[in-house]
Structure 1
Amino acid sequence: MVRRPRYVGPMRTATINRRTSETAIDVTVNLDGTGVYAIATGIGFLDHMLEQLSRHSLIDLDVKVDGDLHIDQHHTTEDSALAIGEAVAKALGDKKGIRRYGDALSPMDETLCRVALDISGRPWCVFDLEFSQEKLGEMDTELFEHWFQSFAQAAGITLHVELLHGRNNHHFIESAFKGLARSLRTAVEIDPRKADAIPSTKGML
């Protein structure tokens, strides 16, 4: 078997420190990691989802959030997504050599979710997933769509998330996060056949 040469280059990392009157957030990502994470948002279920995102994308993720949870979870959810997305975009740099596209079918017991994305520089999010309950753990389920939209906006990606079928609400969103993770893993990977080129006929993304 002939092995293709593995790309070896500088580690693609970024740190974002985001401060507002509503949240204080520190995020560090390593796109060339092994899925090591340290997550503390103050929302247990969101922590669980971000751990899945790191583990299955192999992106090392360190997230610390001090948010105004005495009001509600909205600002912590939105701002964490914006900071993570911004860190991913910064770590990608000029996007030279990336595969750019990624997609995944993510089964979880009775649930099947499809995620597809393009690191296009054109933010867009289609989130076709409806919940039948208002909360998962202590987290409001309506906030998950907002998280995906905010992440796509800050990361500069076109993102489609579609629930194909399922019954369990926990499975719905965990399948979506795992699908996002696996899609990101493919899209941010360096293609050794074109490691020196921007993956666009326009010459930029």
Structure 2
Amino acid sequence: MEVNAEVRASYDLRHHLWEDLGITLGKEIRKNLPEMFSRFGTVIMPMDDALVLVAVDISGRPYLNLDLDIVEGEEGFEVSLLREFLWGLARSLRATIHVKKLAGINAHHIIEATFKGLGRALSQAIREKSRVESTKGVL
């Protein structure tokens, strides 16, 4: 699946804008999933001093574990907005998303590694498969 999007939005609060972006993106990805898809994606993304692990499981069970240890407001981007975006995405995509900073001190690099890692992990998870790899109902 290839996705290109252009977003034009107005908002009352930045919080609502970022949450709605996550929800909208998750709905569109979910709507366009192939019948059988990989389901899992895991990436360790380097970005200069930053190293961020992103793992996605499109399991039908929304969950977000965000562990970035960034001081709020550094580099002009509110980390709470990243949380709202990812939680909106996890809920509407019905996916488990784990994001963990493994190294790094520069907030910009950590956030950039998070978004790039998320894109790559999602790309792996939505990849079409010829069969579903699961032990559900077998054990």
- TM superposition score normalised by structure 2: 0.88
CA RMSD, 1 decimal: 1.8
Q: Which structure is higher in RCO with an 8 Å CA cutoff and minimum separation 6?
A: 2
Does residue 65 in structure 1 map to residue 65 in structure 2?
A: no
Deviation at 1:130, TM superposition (A): 2.4
How many residue pairs end up in the alignment?
A: 137
Residue in 1 that maps onto 2:127 = 189
Moved over 6 A (4+): none
CA contact (8 A) 1:113 1:162 kept: yes
CA contact (8 A) 1:111 1:166 kept: yes
From the CA coordinates, give the structure whose radius of gyration is larger.
1
Which among 93, 101, 114 is matched to residue 53 of structure 2?
A: 114
In structure 1, the gaps of 5 or more residues are 1-31, 34-59
* Secondary structure, counterpart of 2:36 in structure 1: coil
CA contact (8 A) 1:133 1:169 kept: no
The percentage of counterpart residues that share the same residue type is: 34
Could you tell me how far apart the structure 2 residues matched to 1:151 and 1:133 are? 21
CA contact (8 A) 2:38 2:132 kept: no
**Map 1:1-205 → 2, pairs under 5 A:** 32-33=1-2, 60-68=3-11, 71-92=12-33, 95-137=34-76, 139-191=77-129, 195=130, 197-202=131-136
- TM superposition score normalised by structure 1: 0.62
Deviation at 1:66, TM superposition (A): 2.1
Give 1 or 2: higher helix fraction: 2
Change (3 A) 1:67 1:135: farther
Deviation at 1:198, TM superposition (A): 3.9
Change (3 A) 1:126 1:171: same
CA contact (8 A) 1:65 1:76 kept: no
Give 1 or 2: higher strand fraction: 1
* Secondary structure, counterpart of 2:85 in structure 1: helix
CA contact (8 A) 2:57 2:125 kept: yes
In structure 2, the gaps of 5 or more residues are none
